[in-house]
Amino acid sequence: MKIAVLPGDGIGPEIVAEAVKVLNALDLDFEMESAPVGGAAYALTGHPLPEATLKLAMEADAVLFGAVGDWKYDTLDRPLRPEQAILGLRKHMGLFANFRPAICYKELTHASSLKPELVAGLDILIIRELTGDIYFGQPRGRRIATDGHFPGAEEAFDTMRYSRPEIERIAHVAFQAAQKRSKRVTSVDKANVLETFQFWKDVVTEVGKEYPDVQLDHMYVDNAAMQLVKEPKRFDVVVTGNMFGDILSDEASMLTGSIGMLPSASLNSKGQGLYEPSHGSAPDIAGKNVANPLATILSAAMMLRFSLNQEAAAQRIEDAVQAVLAQGLRTPDIWSEGTTRVGTAEMGDAVVAALR
């Protein structure tokens, strides 16, 4: 088993170091190799995703990724910006399925902006299609309008599109994930307005017939956005397209209180995956030993489960995180009166101790 370790920028190196510490404490037989990515790679090589880093990622069974981005690179040409590294990895590795669990640990219910009874025990899995939709559809661009309300005016346009195989494969992923959970899938669309999402709904419904043990329902995205804050526990697995998934997964993440707790996985059809926290590189707190490493540690657990076939080890890490929270240890982002404030490294050490 080979893991490519790409720490990246900002808090990336600090939080990834803690996840590596936890992986090493498992005494499993895997090889880890690190490479620069994002702004760190640009500073070293002039490119955010150097060829050697991409090669390492493509050859590994899994990629453990920190975060990329720093304000100091915001003036670079778009293809050279740190964020291009993650887009490049998604494209080259064919990572089409993004898993974003939103779990509200009982010790952290007060950290949510919703009432505790609405979020206590929350456990949602949002599955976002990652390589299609309006983010990648062609044609796109700027032009002078020849029709519409303002012919002759400058306009911009994008193309929303999904092919049948793209929808089928993400639907299979969602139904199979639901089979391992509470056997419910909500497919989120905008079929009342968009042709693309009427097609999405039709194809998901067809695929659903192959999974008679899973209950499928459909919801318009505007209603889903509302239900996520009104009654979030009604959801189990949510599957949706790239743009709606982008927005809804961030909304769901806030139900749990801190973005510092949320892992994510992006998988391709070979089971190879890229595992990263849901948050960014947080340059405002980088190098201060205050970042919460738990999202990255939980991403490492997802990596063991989905790409390395080590379910027992994944569960051990998740139990250790739960134990550390039960001990009252908190990084500043999740700290509250009566709990013990710890730094990034101390939190990692505590998870290792709980593992043992």
Q: Which residues pair with 217 in a beta bridge?
A: 186
Q: Which is nearer to ligand NAD, 68 or 97 (CB)?
A: 68
Catalytic residue list contains 236: no
Query: In the range 260-279, which residues lie near ligand NAD by CB under 6 A?
Result: 260, 276, 279
DSSP string for residues in 107-175: GGGGGSSS-HHHHTT-EEEEEEE-S-GGGT-S--EEEE-SSSSSTTSEEEE------HHHHHHHHHHHH
**259 near ligand NAD, judged by CB under 6 A:** yes
**280 near ligand NAD, judged by CB under 6 A:** yes
- For the bound state, the minimum distance from the C-beta of residue 253 to ligand NAD, rounded and expressed in Å, comes to 10
Nearest to 211 by CA among 183, 230, 239, 181: 183
State the residue for tokens 């999202």: 295
**50 near ligand NAD, judged by CB under 6 A:** no
Q: Which is nearer to ligand NAD, 204 or 347 (CB)?
A: 347
Cα gap 321→54, rounded to integer Å:
31
Cα gap 321→159, rounded to integer Å:
42
The region of 42-50, 61-69, 153-161, 212-220 touching ligand NAD under the rule CB under 6 A is 61-69
Neighbours of 195 (CB within 10 A): 10
Cα gap 27→355, rounded to integer Å:
11
Question: 251 CB contacts (<8 Å, ≥6 apart)?
Answer: 225, 228, 229
**284 near ligand NAD, judged by CB under 6 A:** yes
**257 near ligand NAD, judged by CB under 6 A:** no
Neighbours of 322 (CB within 10 A): 15
Residue 118, judged by CB atoms within 10 A of its CB (0-12, 13-18, 19+), counts as middle
Interface residue with ligand NAD, options 68, 108, 174, 228 (CB under 6 A): 68
- For the bound state, the minimum distance from the C-beta of residue 246 to ligand NAD, rounded and expressed in Å, comes to 11
**282 near ligand NAD, judged by CB under 6 A:** yes
- For the bound state, the minimum distance from the C-beta of residue 11 to ligand NAD, rounded and expressed in Å, comes to 6
Q: Which is nearer to ligand NAD, 134 or 259 (CB)?
A: 259
Amino acid at the residue 104: C
Residue from 189, 190, 236, 275 carrying the catalytic annotation:
190
Interface residue with ligand NAD, options 35, 285, 300, 350 (CB under 6 A): 285
The region of 119-127, 200-208, 235-243, 283-291 touching ligand NAD under the rule CB under 6 A is 283-291
Interface residue with ligand NAD, options 281, 299, 307, 310 (CB under 6 A): 281
Q: Which is nearer to ligand NAD, 175 or 244 (CB)?
A: 244
Q: Which is nearer to ligand NAD, 8 or 241 (CB)?
A: 8
- For the bound state, the minimum distance from the C-beta of residue 239 to ligand NAD, rounded and expressed in Å, comes to 21
Cα gap 15→24, rounded to integer Å:
14
Catalytic residue list contains 246: yes
Task: Tell me if 307 sits within 8 A of 272, measured CB to CB.
Answer: yes
Task: Tell me if 243 sits within 8 A of 134, measured CB to CB.
Answer: yes
**112 near ligand NAD, judged by CB under 6 A:** no
Element (H, E) at 8: strand 2-8
Catalytic residue list contains 190: yes
Residue from 222, 230, 270, 319 carrying the catalytic annotation:
222
The pair of structure tokens assigned to 233 is: 């526990």
The region of 29-37, 64-72, 165-173, 207-215 touching ligand NAD under the rule CB under 6 A is 64-72
Give the Å distances, CA to CA, from 202 to 125, 170, 196, 205: 22, 14, 10, 5
Q: Which is nearer to ligand NAD, 74 or 217 (CB)?
A: 74
Q: Which positions lie near ligand NAD, rule CB under 6 A?
A: 11, 15, 67-70, 83, 86, 259-260, 276, 279-285, 291-292, 295, 333
Active centre residues (catalytic): 135, 190, 222, 246, 250
